[in-house]
Amino acid sequence: MAGHSHGRRGDPPPAPEPLPVAVADAHTHLYIAAPDDPAGALAAARAVGVDRVVEVGCDVPSSRAAVALAEAYPGVLAAVAVHPNDAPDLPDLPAALAEIDALAARPRVRAVGETGLDRFRTGDAGRAAQEESFRAHIAIAKRHGKPLMIHDRDAHDDIFRVLESEGAPDTVVFHCFSGDATMARHCADRGWYASFAGNVTFKNAAELRAAAAVLPAELLLVETDAPYLTPMPYRGRPNAPYLVPLTVRALAEVRGVAVDELCGALSANAGRVFGTW
């Protein structure tokens, strides 16, 4: 989740050309992007070759909603967490974490996240609570044998420090990967996945594209983070899972591979991380 601002200007972009091989949106927020019509959003995504999504909660209510959506729709799996920017503001963080722990046991929950650290929106006063929450989510992921889905904003070194001190779960996904090629190699050396969102298409994202170019194909995922980070040429307009093909085609160009080849890898990776939908 890119931030807390839900407003997006303009009409939804037109549907892109369908992908030749279906892929998964590895991180979306339909409770914000399509609160009144999740079925319509899922149908629009399927029509362009995005046949599966991971619905991600950012607090206890949205995590409950993610589980309910995943239990209602076969093309949806859930991830549950307290977002790092929310952790310092909760009146009872341990109670919220206990609720996330209980939700993580549900069979349609396939990841714990998004959790991590955010040095952009949370200042010094909130850092201890953020780190406490992150460490607790790592423990929850390991306890339930679920992948850990990481939110990392301006916090690369601290994220690595905490993962190394706690011991990372078997599967780690850096949602909306925000590092450079050096960080991508660091993650690849540890077998950690990088999920790329629409910001990889932005003009000023040369370092992000360099990271996408060097990451091993078997560690690559794609996501929308909808309604945020709408790919070019529609930056600033509302995002939704049906726009994944724009990011996939940009990634294929960056990596110098055919779109169908990349789709096959992305689909296989999503299945390896999240299991069957």
175 annotated as ligand-binding: yes
Coil, strand or helix at 98: helix
Is 45 part of a structural domain of the chain? yes
- pLDDT, position 8: 52
- pLDDT, position 4: 42
29 annotated as ligand-binding: yes
92 annotated as ligand-binding: no
The domain tally of the chain equals: 1
- pLDDT, position 109: 98
Task: Give the range of the structural domain holding residue 263, as residue numbers without chain letter.
Answer: 23-274
Is 13 part of a structural domain of the chain? no
Domain holding 135: CATH number? 3.20.20.140
Q: Residue 150 class from Cβ within 10 Å (0-12 exposed, 13-18 middle, 19+ buried)?
A: buried
- C-alpha–C-alpha distance, residues 162 and 153, integer Å: 14
Is 17 part of a structural domain of the chain? no
225 annotated as ligand-binding: yes
Output DSSP code: residue 237.
Answer: S
What is the value of pTM for the model shown? 0.95
- C-alpha–C-alpha distance, residues 240 and 262, integer Å: 21
Is 18 part of a structural domain of the chain? no
Is 223 part of a structural domain of the chain? yes
Is 5 part of a structural domain of the chain? no
Q: Which parts of the chain register pLDDT below 50?
A: 3-7
| Whether 24 contacts 249, CB under 8 Å | no
| Whether 38 contacts 68, CB under 8 Å | no
Is 6 part of a structural domain of the chain? no
Q: Which two tokens stand for residue 266?
A: 């992305």
- pLDDT, position 2: 52
- pLDDT, position 7: 46
Output DSSP code: residue 76.
Answer: E
- pLDDT, position 5: 41
186 annotated as ligand-binding: no
144 annotated as ligand-binding: no
- pLDDT, position 35: 95
- pLDDT, position 3: 46
Is 156 part of a structural domain of the chain? yes
